[in-house]
Amino acid sequence: MELIRRLPSVVAGGALAALVVMTIAAVFARYLFDAPLHWGEEMSGLLMIWIIMIGAIVAERDGQHLDIPLFVDLLPTRIRAAVDLVVSALSIVVLAYAGWLGYLLAQSAQYKLTEILQISWFWIDIAVPVGAAGIIIYLLRRCFIDVVVIAKGNAP
């Protein structure tokens, strides 16, 4: 279970390490050997999109998304949980819509290839629905906890 929980962090960290190594290699190739890595820019764009979406999953899992709890923290526990539940539910709706649009975009671009790497744009565009689905999973978990807090008055 811990492996599944840590998987997004490991994938995002590996992609970030690959991006750093590739960027350093591209700089050396261009300026020391006068032989630029033409595929480097395309690959870095692909990696950045996936790093952002998987990083968003990790941020949601760890409760690190930006919020301003100044007034919400002043509320009683059950009301705070109800506010969190509403915010999570609205976030799920927005993410489901964004994920659906991302899926439609990925489907429409599946036969379009990137210029240099000749990778289907599907593999780039599908990052949005994958990220949205991952965030929704953790939001549903948070909703469950909020419902328990509302019902019992304390966290499980």
Mean pLDDT of the chain: 90
Give me the number of domains the chain comprises. 1
Using CA atoms in the order 55, 57, 61, 64, what is the torsion angle rounded to 10 degrees? 50
At residue 147, the 3 state secondary structure works out as helix
What tokens does 92 get? 């799920």
pTM of the entire predicted model: 0.86
The predicted-structure confidence for 75-109, as pLDDT tens digits, reads as follows 888 888 999 999 999 999 999 999 999 999 999 99
Distance of CA 87 to the CA centre of its chain: 18
Question: Exposed (0-12), middle (13-18) or buried (19+): which is 50, by Cβ within 10 Å?
Answer: buried
The predicted-structure confidence for 19-38, as pLDDT tens digits, reads as follows 999 999 988 888 888 888 88
Site of tokens 């953790």: 138
Q: Residue 146 belongs to what domain range?
A: 2-152
CA–CA separation, 135 and 27 (whole Å): 35
Query: Count of CB atoms within 10 A of residue 136's CB?
Result: 20
The pLDDT confidence band at residue 15, using thresholds 50, 70 and 90, is very high
Q: Decide if 155 contacts 149 (C-beta within 8 A).
A: yes
Q: Decide if 97 contacts 128 (C-beta within 8 A).
A: no
Report the DSSP beta bridge partners of residue 113.
120
What is the pLDDT, as a whole number, of residue 156? 61
